[in-house]
Structure 1
Amino acid sequence: MWVRHCLAMPVFLIVAVLLAAFSVTRAAGQEGSAEAEDNGPVAGLTHYFEAVETLAGAFRQTTRDETGEVIEEASGHFVIARPQRFVWDYRTPWEQLIVSDGEKLWVHDVALEQVVVRPLEEALGVGAAQLLSGDLSRLEENFSLTAGGEDVVILRPTDPAWDFQRVQLELEEGIPVSITVEDGLGQRVEVVLRDLTLNPDLSPGRFQFEPPAGADVMQGS
C-alpha cells in the first residue's frame, strides 16, 4: 500500500521520466526520426534531450479533476540525471521525498515517518516504463510526437490502455518549462519548472536513499 498523499502518482512519474527518457535514447547513438529533424518545437526538444544529461530546478505542481477544479497544489525542488535517476523534494503542502536510483523508487512521507519502496519499472506503470526503455525505435512505434503550437510538443501513446493519454510540453528557448499530463479519467497534472540549471555536477550519491532511523519501511504492492 502506498503512503498517504501520493501526489498524483503514477501521473507525476510521467513528468520525471519525460525529462530523462529521451536523453537515454539519444545517448545510445540512435538517429532521430524525420519528424524530429523538422524545424519547430519537436526539433527544439530533440536538441534539448541531446544536450542535457542532468537538470535541477524548482517546480509547482497543480492537479485538476475532470471538471477543471483544482484538487491539489504542491511545490518543491528536483534533480534529474540519466538514466532513470531523479529526486523530487516536495515542501508544500507537506514534506515528501521521492527518489529513484535507477532500480528502486523510494517514497518518504516525512510527517508519518513512512517509507515505501518498489522496483522502479513496477512503480511507473506501462506507459512510463516504456519511456525509460532507451530504445528509440520502440518509442517511435508506441508514441506520436507532434507540434501543438509554436512552442508546444504533444506526446500521445498509441495504446489507449496505457497510464496516460496525452502529454503537452511547453518550451522556452528550447527548454521544457511546463509539462501537462492527462490520464484516461479526466485528471490533469501540470508541472511548471523554474530556476533551471542545465547539466549541474551531481554526485551519484545524490540519488541514494537511506530510510531515516525509526521510519516504518514497507514494500509497495
Structure 2
Amino acid sequence: MIAALVTSALLAALPAADSPAAQAVVRRVEELHARAGDLTARFVQIYRSGLLGREVTERGVVSIKRPGRMRWEYKDPEAKTFISDGRRFYFYVPADHQVIVRQQDEERSIPSLLLSGKGDILGQFTAELDTPPAEGLLRLRLTPRRAEPEIERVVVDVEPSGRVRQIQVEDTQGNRSRFRFDDIRENVGLPEKLFRFEVPAGVEVIQG
C-alpha cells in the first residue's frame, strides 16, 4: 500500500508528456514569429497577486525587431519602458528618475521569448493542448521541464496561423500575469532608433 502511494506521488510529480499536436502548434508559433522581421502590437497586462488577491491592469505598446531587439512601452496607469538593443536591457521609470541596466542574456520574459521567435520553447517546456477559449483560437498549456519558482505553467492562446493573442504566466506563489495582444502587425519597418536608449540628464544608472 505504501509503495503504491509513493509510486503514485512520484508519477504525479513527473512533467506531463508532450502532445504531438501541441508540439506542432508550438513550432507554428516559433516559425511565424521567426519569419517576421519586426512586430508591433497593443497590449493589456493584468497582474494578480496570489497573496493579496489584488489586480493591477496596465496598457501599452510592444515592438520587436530581429535580431534580439524589443521595446515594451507602458503608457497607463504609469509610464515605464523596457528596451533591449540586442546587447543590453534597460528598465526605465521616469517617476523614479533611474534606469536599471543589465545584460540581455539575463532577460527571461516569457512573452518576449514567444513573440521574438528566438527561443527553444519545446526545449524548456512540455506542451499540451487545452480547451480552446473561443472559436478560432487554440490554447497551449506549457509546463517547465525543470521545476522553477518563477514559472509553474504558461497558458498561450494562439490563432491557427501561430499568431499569439494572449499569454498567461503563473508562478508557484499563485501570482498570475496575463498579456492580451491586439492590433498585431508584422513587417512594418520599425526604425532602429526605437530600440536605442539614451540616459536622460539627471537619471541614476543602476547596473543590475
- TM bucket (normalised to shorter chain) is 0.7 to 0.9
Deviation at 1:85, TM superposition (A): 1.5
Q: Does 1:83 align with 2:67?
A: yes
* 1:124 matched to 2:112: no
AA paired with 1:209? Answer: F
Distance (whole Å) between structure 1 residues aligned to residue 74 and residue 112 of structure 2: 23
Give the percent of matched residue pairs that are identical in Structure 1 and Structure 2.
27
Aligned CA distance change for structure 1 residues 106 and 37 (closer, same or farther; 3 Å) = closer
| Contact kept in structure 2, 1:62 and 1:70, CA below 8 Å | no
- Note the C-alpha offset of 1:119: 1.2
Distance 2:31 2:118 in 1: 17
User: Which residue does 2:198 correspond to in 1?
Assistant: 210
Deviations along 1:96-138, one digit per CA (max 9) or x if unpaired, are 011011221111111222111111223438x8999899574xx
What's the offset of the Cα at 1:75? 0.6
The answer to whether the 8 A contact 2:111-2:167 is kept is no
Structure 1 unaligned regions, length at least 5: 1-32
Between 1:47-56 and 1:107-116, the stretch displaced more is 47-56
Equivalent-residue separation in structure 2 for 1:146 and 1:49 (angstroms): 20
Aligned-partner Cα distance in 1 for 2:106–2:30: 27
Gaps of 5+ in 2: 1-18, 133-137
For the 8 Å contact 2:41–2:183, the answer to whether it is kept is yes
Residue in structure 2 matched with residue 161 of structure 1 by the alignment: 148
How big is the shift at 1:95? 0.6
Contact 2:80-2:92 within 8 A present in 1 as well: yes
Per the normalisation by structure 1, the TM-score is 0.70
In the alignment, the residues of structure 1 paired with residue 76 and residue 165 of structure 2 have an alpha-carbon distance, to the nearest angstrom, of 20
- Paired amino acid for 1:66: G
Q: What is the root-mean-square deviation of aligned Cα atoms in Å?
A: 3.1
State the AA in 2 paired with 1:91.
Answer: K
Taking a change above 3 Å as real, the CA distance of residues 153 and 205 of structure 1, as seen in their structure-2 partners, is same
Using a 3 Å threshold, how does the CA distance of structure 1 residues 173 and 111 change in structure 2: closer, same or farther? same
Q: Distance in 2 between matches of 1:143 and 1:169?
A: 12
Larger Rg: 2
The Cα shift of 1:173 comes to 4.6
